[in-house]
DNA sequence: CTACGTGCAAACCGTTTGCGAGTCC
DNA sequence: GGACTCGCAAACGGTTTGCACGTAG
């Protein structure tokens, strides 16, 4: 049922080169290997990819990541700290709760907030096409 | 009642040099001159400042903007597009609705969303210390 | 004299790009 | 052959920083 990155590439006519296959593999393994809330930046991806094929350049990572983003495989996040971070797109949309101490990320969905956002946009005469909600918190002991 | 940027600097022990006074002036005039939803980036600030004193370097703008941010005078936003944009801190918190066509920014507050955010954080055992909500929309005709 | 602020230019860092070489059809 | 992809190194753009020179106390 769930389609692989390779499936999506085929469907969209994106050529699957060896390098892209390696990157796709790293991406699809991300969540399993590195935890559910894995949001690697390009540098991290580069390092993970390098273990499988040390010949792949960081420029290719950048190009592929952009390509995958345009194909709807990845989403890009500009969290605090300059570096863009990526995650594989899942069918269900979610927002992020970020631990300001550890950087740990928790994904969540809140239907009520979603609805309210739409309503706010409409109140100002806009059609909501996208949104970003980030909560920053400290873990209670 | 409302304190000026200079007041805040005095209170915090931030030395008010000539350059900083000019930058403070530009900032406090921002909303009046350029509209309520003025969120200039460093480059824009530099240009506005240059009109008053062309000797002030862009490095000083960067340093002052960072200083003011730390003093709670400005807030920094990392909207889409690489450049950081700033706005003078107002007592009432608000979020942003951004027109993806024109870049126009509408500020809004929604108490209900605020409350829900707090609740979500708590659900995961976190104390909410900050948040960012950006809505991206298209104007309806 | 000491501490700090500034202007300038160089460095920095994440990201993009031009180019020559390679690959697939 | 033509279109595309890659690795490399250079370029880019926003931001920071080292340094020499003020300037204030």
Inter-chain residue contact B132 with A132, CB threshold 8 Å: yes
> Residue A1: what pLDDT?
46
B55: phi then psi, degrees, rounded to nearest 5? -85, -20
Q: Is the pLDDT of residue A91 over 70?
A: no
Nucleotides of D under 7 A from a protein CB: 4-10, 13-18
Inter-chain residue contact B137 with A116, CB threshold 8 Å: no
Whole-angstrom Cα Rg for chain B: 17
DSSP state of B41: B
Give percent above pLDDT 70 in chain B. Answer: 94
Question: Across the strands, what pairs with A137?
Answer: A99, B128
> Residue B92: what pLDDT?
64
H or E element at residue A77: strand A74-77
pTM of the prediction? 0.71
Q: Is the pLDDT of residue B127 over 70?
A: yes
> Residue A26: what pLDDT?
93
pLDDT tens digits, one per residue of A32-89? 777 666 889 999 999 999 999 999 999 999 999 999 998 888 989 887 767 899 988 7
Inter-chain residue contact A110 with B120, CB threshold 8 Å: yes
Better-predicted residue by pLDDT, B79 or A113 = A113
Highest mean pLDDT among A68-77, A116-125, B28-37, B127-136: A116-125
> Residue A12: what pLDDT?
83
pLDDT tens digits, one per residue of B21-60? 999 999 988 777 776 668 899 999 999 999 999 999 999 9
H or E element at residue B134: strand B126-139
pLDDT tens digits, one per residue of B110-123? 999 999 999 999 99
Q: Which of B78, B99, B124 sits opposite A78 (nearest CB)?
A: B78
């Amino acid at each position: 049922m769930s389609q692989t990155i390779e499936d999506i590439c085929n469907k969209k006519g994106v050529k699957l080169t060896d390098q892209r296959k390696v990157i796709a593999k790293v991406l699809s393994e991300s969540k399993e290997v590195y935890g559910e809330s894995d949001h690697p930046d390009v540098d991290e991806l580069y390092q993970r990819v390098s273990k499988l094929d040390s010949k792949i350049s960081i420029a290719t990572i950048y190009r592929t990541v952009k390509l995958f983003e345009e194909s709807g495989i990845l989403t890009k996040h500009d969290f605090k700290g300059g570096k863009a971070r990526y995650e594989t797109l899942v069918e269900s949309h979610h927002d992020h709760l970020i631990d300001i101490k550890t950087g740990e990320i928790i994904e969540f969905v809140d239907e009520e907030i979603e609805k309210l956002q739409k309503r706010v946009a409409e109140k100002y005469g806009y059609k909501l096409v996208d949104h970003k909600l980030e909560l920053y918190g400290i873990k209670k002991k």
